[in-house]
Amino acid sequence: MTFPIRSLKSGGSGAAIWRDLSSPPAANDVALNRVSLSRRLPTDAEEIELLGATLDLASTSDLRAAALLVMVALGLHKRDIVHLNVADVLMVGAAVCVRVRGRRALGRETFLPIIGADARTLRTYLSEQHGEAPDGGAPLFYNIEHGRADRRKRITANAVSYWLLELRLRARQVLAGVAPG
């Protein structure tokens, strides 16, 4: 024998109205004051600083993630990060400038200056990942697939999201008092 199931939209006596229902507390990261696990780029300087604090710059993969965070801190979109070449990073004295092209065919070039620790991070990334005489047309962030680096192939927007998700998971572990591993 089957029984009819009462719809949440019916709003019968004693039943909660479907508009008043909320997600369980475990899924609501904002209410629990946790680091969000979204695929969106972080826009808050505190979140970027928290994600950067989880990195060990002696590791090559963490150095790459730190360079990605520098680009995110500049306010670049994922598609802008994907399309950066090594030649788009210009070193002028103690400052580093990143050339960003407009999205239109006749788009203007914009130079964004980076100074301080972010400039040192980007210089270290360029010297360790691209060598002393890098190919200017090579992608700044290249593809790593199944542990193998393909320096001719660009990183994808999904890969940028993956790196940020990994950093957010690390930040959650640090905030929870668990050593990231």
Query: At 41, is the pLDDT very low, low, confident or very high (cuts 50, 70, 90)?
Result: confident
For residues 50 and 72, what is the distance between their CA atoms, to the nearest angstrom?
13
Query: At 101, is the pLDDT very low, low, confident or very high (cuts 50, 70, 90)?
Result: confident
**Model confidence at 24: pLDDT above 90:** no
In SS3 terms, 39-87 reads as CCCCCCHHHHHHHHHCCCCCCHHHHHHHHHHHHHHCCCCHHHHHCCEHH
**Higher-confidence residue: 71 or 151?**
71
Q: Does pTM top 0.75 for this prediction? A: no
% of residues, the chain, pLDDT over 90: 16
**Model confidence at 12: pLDDT above 70:** no
Q: What is the dihedral of CA 163, 138, 132, 61, to 10 degrees?
A: 10
Domains of the chain: 44-169 (1.10.443.10)
- Residues 105-124: tens digit of each pLDDT: 566 888 889 989 999 999 99
Contacts of 177 (CB under 8 A, 6+ apart): none
Please give the average per-residue pLDDT across 158-172, as a whole number.
Answer: 89
